[in-house]
Amino acid sequence: MDGLDLSYLTENWREVWALTLDHVRLSLLALAIALPIALVLGIAAARFRALTVPVLTFLGILYTIPSQGLGVKPALIILVTYSQVFLVRNIVAGLRSVDAPTLEAASGIGMTRGQVMRRVWFPLALPVIIAGVRTALLTIISIAAVAAWINAGGLGDLLFRGLARNYPAMILAGIIAIIALAAVTDLLLRAAERLTPLARAHRATRR
């Protein structure tokens, strides 16, 4: 590994770890705010097809709007806004992937609309929804690195400080930490997808 300078990462691992935790907190907070909003929009668009194109078009326009201001609050607004496209699209796709006869059968045995949503519709759509959460969270993690430019903290701080100081080892430490965080997040959410009832049922039928 000639030329790969890991000195900053090994000598300042406590700082890198602290910035990683900051990055995780910012990313999870953004997701925690974004997901309920996306669920409301996604369920509405799945129920009323006429809303789908306007909602997704509006979210696509929001995705192109540049950030304004400095600090954590503007960064959260950016992250929440940008993640909506991926979340809403997959929520709509997941809910629409559930066959109408399945929902009608659930209603036919006496379930209320709320029970159908909680016990049938949402659980069957969950694998697709989790895939959207995975894409959204990975997007949030990557954009959060750039959010350090507006003083939001996180691992991007290493990148921008390293660039300002012409310090390649610091930049490399930030890159490695961001890639590692994204990889771990991807693995955890892929595992969560495999634990959904529908995924377990599919595996059971193959045995």
Residues 109-139 pLDDT 10s: 887 877 888 888 888 888 889 889 999 999 9
Residue 98 is classified by DSSP as: S
This prediction has a pTM of 0.83
Residues 46-83 pLDDT 10s: 888 888 888 888 888 877 776 666 778 888 888 998 89
How far from 157 is each of 11, 18, 153, 180, CA to CA, in Å?
17, 11, 6, 16
Tell me how far apart the alpha carbons of residues 116 and 104 are, in angstroms, rounded to a whole number.
Answer: 9
Domains (range + CATH), the chain: 7-206 (1.10.3720.10)
Tell me how far apart the alpha carbons of residues 179 and 174 are, in angstroms, rounded to a whole number.
Answer: 9
Rg of the chain's alpha carbons, rounded to an integer? 20
